[in-house]
Amino acid sequence: MVKLEDYHSDDSIAWCPGCGNFSILKALKAALVDIQQQPHELVIVSGIGQAPKTPHYLRCNCFNGLHGRTLPVATGIKLANHKLTVIAQGGDGDGYGEGGNHFLHAMRRNIDITYLVHNNQVYGLTKGQASPTSDPGFVTKTTPRGAHSPACNPLMLAVASDCSFVARGFAGEIDHLEDLIKAGIRHEGFALIDILQPCVSFNRVNTFKWYSERIYKIDADSAYDAEDRLNAFQKAQEWGDKIPVGVIYRKQRPTLEKQFPAIADQPLVGQQIDPGTFIELLEIFK
Partner 1 sequence: MQKAWLRRDRRGGAEFQTAGNLLVVEDLKRVTNKDMGPKDIFEIASNKKRGHSVDISIRIGGEAGQGIQSISSIIAKTFVRQGFYVFINQDFASRIRGGHNFDQVRISKYPVNAAAGNVHILIALDKETTRQDIDCLSDNGFLLFDENEIDFTSDNPNHFSIPFTQIASKVGKSKIMANSVALGSAIALTDFELKPLLDCLQEQFESKGSETIENNQKSATAGYDFVRQNLKTKPALKKSSAKGGRKNMLLTGSQALALGAMASGLKLYSGYPMSPATAIMEFVSSQADRYNIIVEQAEDEIAAINMVIGANFAGARAMTATSGGGFCLMVEALSLAGMTETPVVIIVAQRPGPSTGLPTRTEQGDLNFVLHAGHGDFPRAVLAPGRPEQALYLMSKAFNLADKYQTPVIVLSDQHFNDAYFTVDELDLGNIVIDRGDILTEQDLPSPHEYRRYAPSESGISPRILPGNTRAVLYADSDEHSPEGHITESAAVRNQMVRKRMQKLEGLRREIGPPDIYPAGEAELVLLGWGSTHGVIKEAVDKLNQKGVPAVMVHYSELFPFNPQHFSAPALKKSKIIAVENNYTGQFADFFSKNTGLSVDRRILKYDGRPFTSHEIVHQIKDMI
Q: Given the rule CB under 8 A, which residues bind partner 1?
A: 11, 14, 39-41, 43, 45, 48, 53, 55-56, 59-66, 69, 71-81, 83-84, 101-102, 104-105, 256, 260-263, 267-271, 273, 275-279, 281-282, 285-286
Quote the distance between the C-alpha of residue 84 and its chain's center.
16
Query: With respect to partner 1, which residue has the nearer C-beta, 13 or 205?
Result: 13
CB 237 to partner 1: min, Å: 26
C-beta of 75 vs 120, nearer to partner 1 = 75
Give whole-number Cα distances, 278 to 21, 269, 284, in Å.
Answer: 51, 19, 11
> What is the spatial distance between Cα 166 and Cα 255, in angstroms, rounded to a whole number?
15
Minimum distance of partner 1 from residue 44's CB (angstroms)? 10
Q: Closest CB to partner 1 among 241 and 285?
A: 285
Residue whose CB is less far from partner 1, 71 or 171: 71
**Minimum distance from CB of 70 to partner 1 (Å)?**
9
Phi, psi of 167 (to 5 degrees): -140, 160
> How many Cα atoms sit within 13 Å of 127 on the Cβ side?
1
Residue 55 CB, nearest distance to partner 1 (Å)?
7
Residue closer to partner 1 (CB basis): 38 or 207: 38
Compute the C-alpha angle 28/22/62, nearest 5°: 55
Please, what is the minimum distance in Å from the beta carbon of residue 23 to partner 1? 21
Helix H or strand E encompassing 175: helix 174-186
CB 107, CB 192: distance < 8 Å? yes
Residue 11 vs 228, nearer CB to partner 1: 11
- Shortest spacing between CB 281 and partner 1, in angstroms: 7
In the three-class reduction of DSSP (H, G, I as helix; E, B as strand; rest coil), residue 245 is classed as strand
Rounded to a whole number of angstroms, the CA Rg of the chain reads 20
DSSP designation for 150: P
Q: Which CB, 37 or 203, lies closer to partner 1?
A: 37
Q: Give the span between the Cα atoms of 166 and 181, in whole angstroms.
A: 11
Question: What's the helix, strand, coil split of the chain in %, to 5?
Answer: 40, 15, 45
Give the span between the Cα atoms of 210 and 214, in whole angstroms. Answer: 7
> Cβ 244 to partner 1, closest distance in Å?
30
Three-state SS at 95 = helix
